[in-house]
Amino acid sequence: MDFFNSLIAETYSLIDGLDKKSFDFEMSDAWQDVGYNEVILQRDTAFELEGVGFNLITTAPVNDEIVVIGEDLSHIYGNRKFTRVCVIELEETEDQQKTYNLIRKVEYTKYHVFPKGYMIRTTSRSHKEAVRVSGKAVKDGISFKKIGNLLIKKYKENPAVKGVKVIFVTDAGADFKHFEEIARKNNDITETLNHIMNSVNFDCDTCKLKPICDEVEGMKELHFKTSGKKED
Ligand code: SF4
């Protein structure tokens, strides 16, 4: 189920020419997870990040890595645009339903990460992501490397997750509109996948998801396969 590979290629080409720092995954250097949704009040806030955050799933090899493009958390002095992308390698399986269930499970992980002093607000139906960072966390040395280590650690608690690359972008010169476009396409493909895996009845001529099926290779075939219907 490699429906997201073209979006991964698009993401990589988007960050290709930008200055970046790269860090290996170090489990022991993960930022603290408080285990609950911590509320950071305005008066305790150093700055806010606002943009999109999304996961791109693949069965192609992905090295555990954190990539930072632009200023790190210790060098941000006002509210900023940002993007967070996690490219996640899942183990390959022949069973489409099992793979689909895994994708959903991995997607839910992001709602169960609660970094100390880093309040994430996101919703399941959109890829919008806003982060409020506390002044105390900045003082205590919070960094994208440490947040990335925590995210990778959490994703890898699922043994089916083989590799995770976390990309943070705060560079004002980055094409944030394009990242939003990739996030939107990712959402469209995910919704189409949900429809395909949960619905046996279909009519391609009237289906509102047809543009996605026409664009993403293998999607239509998957719906025919899961429904047991033969293509005309
Ligand atoms: S295969 Fe046809 S019915 Fe199924 S999601 Fe695609 S366009 Fe819609």
Q: Where do the domains of the chain lie, and which CATH numbers do they carry?
A: 5-172 (3.30.1650.10)
The reported pLDDT for the residue numbered 107 is 87
pLDDT at 196: 85
Q: pLDDT tens across 82-125, in order?
A: 999 999 999 988 888 888 888 888 988 888 999 999 999 987 66
* Distance between Cα 196 and ligand 1 center (Å): 7
pLDDT of 230 reads 59
Instruction: Please give the distance, rounded to the nearest whole angstrom, from the Cα atom of residue 110 to the centre of ligand 1.
Output: 28
Average pLDDT over residues 167-192: 94
Closest C-alpha to ligand 1, atom 2:
204
How confident is the model at residue 155, as a pLDDT? Answer: 97
Strand blocks (E) in 64-218: 65-69, 80-90, 118-122, 128-134, 161-169
Pocket of ligand 1 (CB under 6 A): 192, 195-196, 202, 204, 207, 209-210, 213, 219-220, 223
Is residue 87 classed as helix, strand or coil in its secondary structure?
strand
- pLDDT above 60: residue 232: no
Residue 192 near residue 209, CB atoms below 8 Å: yes
Distance 223 CA to ligand 1 centre (A): 6
Cβ proximity of 53 and 83 under 8 Å:
yes
